[in-house]
Amino acid sequence: MEARPTASRIVNTLKAVFRARITTGLLVVLPVYVTYLLVRFIFELMRDASQWLVEAYITTEFGASVRRFFQIDLDSLKASLGHNPTPAEMVAALPAWMQWVISIFSVLVTIFLLYAIGLFAANVFGKRLLLRMERMVDHLPFVKTVYRSSKQILETLAGDQTKNFQRVALIPFPQERMRCVGFITSTFHDSVSGEELATVFIPTTPNPTTGYLQILRRVELVEVDWSVEEAVRTIMSGGILRPEHLTIVPSGRPELPQRPLGR
pLDDT tens-digit map of 170-204: 888 888 888 888 998 888 898 888 888 989 999 88
pTM of the model: 0.56
- Total count of domains within the chain: 3
Indicate whether 81 and 7 sit together in one domain: yes
**In a 3-state reduction of DSSP, which class is residue 223?**
strand
Supply the pLDDT for residue 263: 38
Domain that holds residue 148: 129-158
Report the length, in residues, of the chain. 263
Judge whether 196 lies within some domain: yes
Residues 6+ apart with CB under 8 A from 125: none
Judge whether 56 lies within some domain: yes
Indicate whether 151 and 170 sit together in one domain: no
Indicate whether 90 and 141 sit together in one domain: no
φ, ψ for residue 101, nearest 5 deg:
-60, -45
pLDDT single digits (tens) 106-155: 999 999 999 998 888 888 888 888 888 888 888 888 888 888 878 777 77
